[in-house]
Structure 1
Amino acid sequence: MGEDNYVDILKQHLKTSVRKLKLGCQWVFQMDNDPKHTSKVVAKWLKDNKVKVLEWPSQSPDLNPIENVFVELKKRVRARRPTNLTQLHRLCQEEWSQIHPTYCGKLVEDYLKRLTQVKQFNGNATKY
């Protein structure tokens, strides 16, 4: 995926997701330091759309709740044992749509615990 694809995804889904998750006006967007995320094109779109972005250290998987969502998605899809790419794609979409917003909300609520543990372990791996 390139930076233009990423901007298209943001245009199509960011504000819709904010509404669905009922985040109100005081939300902060989190993304990692992938080059497409930090490109000038993306930075301009975020600035033009007044999206507040969380500063993010590189190489910090324990701080990224989406990693937990991906693990959950993989577990659900693997349990359904797809046998080809078409089925894998369909199952990923089905299972993704079944991950409830409260699950994601819980990951965000636990963020302070996550930060504390990363600090306690001096940036090394944690239980998250």
Structure 2
Amino acid sequence: MEETGTKVSISTVKRVLYQHNLKGRSARKKPLLQNRHKKDKTTVCNCTRGQDCTFWRNVLWSHETKIERFGHNDHRYVWRKKGEACKPKNTIPTVKHRGGSIMLWGYFAAGGTGALHQGDGIMR
């Protein structure tokens, strides 16, 4: 708009963004998903659709997380609507090997939770 000589105040821009239900939020950090990851996830969802309670009682859910020891990951502010937190334009992709960190792994099932384990070295 500067090229046309039009000047707009910051408060005008903020007001218009709020009128369109956009609010300033921190971008969520999500693992960088490639197309093969998305395809694999869809295949798993289709295979487990409609399973009964007996099937899910025998499933062990696990998760691992990396915690940065030094510093912090990038911080970015985004304008987004409610419910759009996980859209790719509102997230910061995360990748491995960014410095000192610890890796934690845990699990749970229908019967309860398991112990939390700290990984030493590279987890495979």
Asked if Structure 1 and Structure 2 have the same fold, meaning a TM-score greater than 0.5 normalized by the shorter chain, the answer is no
TM-score, scaled relative to structure 2? 0.24
Higher strand share: 2
Q: Compare CA radii of gyration and give the structure with the larger one.
A: 2
Q: Name the structure with the higher helix share.
A: 1
Identify which of structures 1 and 2 has the higher relative contact order when contacts are C-alpha pairs closer than 8 Å and 6+ apart.
2
